[in-house]
Structure formats: C-alpha cells, structure tokens
Amino acid sequence: MSNSQSLGGRIDVAGIPSELRVLATSFNSMLTRIDEGMTRLTQFSGDLAHEMRTPVATLLGRTQVTLSQTRDVETLRDTLASNVEELERLTRLIADMLFLAQSEQDKHALDRDEVRLDAEANLVAEFLMHIAEERQLQIAVVGKASVSANRLLVQRAITNLLSNAIRHANKMTMIEVTIEQSQTMVTLSVANVGRAIASADLGRIFERFYRVDADRSRDSGGTGLGLAIVRSIMKMHDGTVVATSSTDGRTTFQLRFAVM
Ligand SMILES: Nc1ncnc2c1ncn2[C@@H]1O[C@H](COP(=O)(O)OP(=O)(O)O)[C@@H](O)[C@H]1O
Ligand SMILES: [Mg+2]
C-alpha cells in the first residue's frame, strides 16, 4: 500500500473479497488521478520557476553591473529600457499563467455569442498587420462561417496562431487563414510556409513552455504558452486544435468547432 509520500501503490484487486472489489477499483483510479495531478503540479511549478529564473537573473545582473560604477544618463536610460523589455516579458508570462490556471478551474458555462470567424480573423489580421509588414508577409482570409462561442477567447486563439505564423513564416510569403463549414464541423486553419515542425515536436508543442529547440532563444520573445492557451480555449468550447507540418515547410494549425 502507499503512504502519503508515495502515490505509486495500488490495492491488489484480485486478492480481496468480491464485494469490496468495486470500491477498491474506484479507490485505485482515484489514486491514479491524484498521482497524475501531483505530477503535473510539480512539473508545472518547476517549469515556472525555470522560466522566471532567467529573466529575473538578467534583470538583477544588469542592474547590479550598472550600479557598480558611475554612469552617464544615456547608459542609465539604456539599462532601464532593457529592463522594461524584460519586465514586459515577465508580465506576459504571469498573465498567461493566470489565464491557464483559471481556464482549468472555471468549469462553468461560457458567455457565448454568434461569432463570425471571418470577421474575427480579419480583425486580428488588421491588428497584427504592422508586424506582418515588417517581414513583408501578406495575410489572406478566405471563406466564412459562424460559431457559437466566446468572442474574446476566439480572438485570443486566432491571435496566438497568427502571431506564431508571422514569426515562423519565410519572408515575403503568404499566410492563409481558411474558414470552412461541413455538416458536423466549422474549422479555421492558419497556414504558413517556413521551417517545418518535426513530427516528434508536433506532439509536444501544445504543452506549456514547450518550444522547438531553435525557438528557445530569448529574443524570439514568446513565453511558450501560446499554444497551450489555444488548446485550453478550444477545450472550453468542446472543440479541438490540430497541427500538421509537411516536409516542404507548410505548417497548418486548425481550430475545430462542433456544429451546434
Ligand atoms: N507556425 C509555426 N511554424 C513553426 N513552428 C511553430 C509554429 N507555431 C508554433 N511553433 C513552434 O511551437 C512552439 C510553441 O508555440 P507557442 O506555444 O505559441 O510558444 P511561443 O510562441 O511563445 O514560443 C514555438 O516555440 C515553435 O517552436
Ligand atoms: Mg506563440
């Protein structure tokens, strides 16, 4: 049997009287759920500490070095400006973490409206236009359909996918947002051409803080939580998100909503 330190043990169901077996089986599955929850929590706080340690260490180091000598105003200003960037990153990280923690707890019904996916996609595309233009990218929105959904959450999911596509697309290419409706499903796909995602990574990019090696450098700016948020938003809508990436570099993320 397990003690309170280890949740690995289980009751041997075969060895007990049949009238207790149902109870023992559900006790075992409860242990499994608690065990999984504990593992997730431990890993999560470990990841969080790790993610926050780097920006905090950077802030501290830079500030200490600057303070160690007399500096001119220009240098002090530069230090403060870099600190602001780092602090903005931390703020984003904390906001994203809070969003994820809340979305997993709030099981109550969403505020839903009829949301036109084409209208929302165009809105987000316009909002991100200036970043896209810096990389000479074009964004095309094709097709239309409506879903019963929470507008702000849908906007957030599209924003996360589109900003990833903008970051990863090859310069001077086209990012395609395609909206389609079948009898059972409404889908919104965001496709870009860039460096393909290896199939080993494809299964993991929706995990919190998971980034493909090449994207781990800090100047890429992401918190590694964008896709975890997309997945959790789709779960709240009883939908899914699926990623595919072909060797020629075309990567597609598809949001799937069930037709009500
Ligand atoms: N369109 C894309 N093309 C290539 N890789 C992508 C794309 N979108 C996401 N990824 C990979 O998935 C990882 C996780 O994405 P995300 O959760 O949004 O975190 P972040 O954008 O903060 O790095 C990214 O770091 C990147 O490696
Ligand atoms: Mg992202």
C-alpha 59 chain-centroid distance: 25
Say if CB 143 and CB 187 are below 8 A apart: no
pLDDT digits 0-9 by tens, 129-186: 999 999 999 999 999 999 999 999 999 999 999 999 999 999 999 999 999 999 999 9
Residue 48 is predicted with a pLDDT of 82
Overall number of domains in the chain = 2
SS3 61: helix
pLDDT at 255 over 90: yes
Q: What is the CATH number of the domain that holds 130?
A: 3.30.565.10
Say if CB 117 and CB 179 are below 8 A apart: yes
| Ligand 1 within 6 A of CB of 209 | no
Which of 248, 117, 224, 255 shows the shortest CA–CA distance to 173?
248
- Domain around 190: 113-258
User: 72, 93, 108 — which closes off a domain?
Assistant: 108
Considering the domain architecture, whether residues 120 and 204 belong to the same structural domain is answered as yes
Residue 43 is predicted with a pLDDT of 79
Mutate to test the pocket of ligand 1, among 96, 164, 212, 219 (most ligand atoms within 8 A of CB): 164
pLDDT at 17 over 50: yes
pLDDT digits 0-9 by tens, 102-121: 887 766 678 899 999 999 99
The pair phi, psi for residue 237, each rounded to 5°, is -100, 15
Considering the domain architecture, whether residues 131 and 101 belong to the same structural domain is answered as no
| CA of residue 160 to ligand 2 center, whole Å | 6
Mutate to test the pocket of ligand 1, among 211, 242, 244, 248 (most ligand atoms within 8 A of CB): 211
Considering the domain architecture, whether residues 136 and 254 belong to the same structural domain is answered as yes
| Ligand 1 within 6 A of CB of 187 | no
User: 77, 108, 139 — which closes off a domain?
Assistant: 108
Give the Cα-Cα-Cα angle 156, 159, 161 (nearest 5 degrees): 110
Please report which confidence band the pLDDT of residue 44 belongs to, taking 50, 70 and 90 as the band edges.
Answer: confident
Residue 47 is predicted with a pLDDT of 79
Considering the domain architecture, whether residues 181 and 142 belong to the same structural domain is answered as yes
| Ligand 1 within 6 A of CB of 169 | no
| CA of residue 180 to ligand 1 center, whole Å | 24
SS3 104: helix
Considering the domain architecture, whether residues 155 and 135 belong to the same structural domain is answered as yes
The residue whose CA is least distant from atom 27 of ligand 1 is 212
- 3-state SS string over 126-177? HHCHHHHHHCCCEEEEECCCEEEECHHHHHHHHHHHHHHHHHHECCCCEEEE
| CA of residue 221 to ligand 2 center, whole Å | 9
- How much of the chain is in helix, strand and coil states, percent to nearest 5? 55, 20, 25
| Ligand 1 within 6 A of CB of 163 | no
Residue 1 is predicted with a pLDDT of 47
DSSP state of 64: H
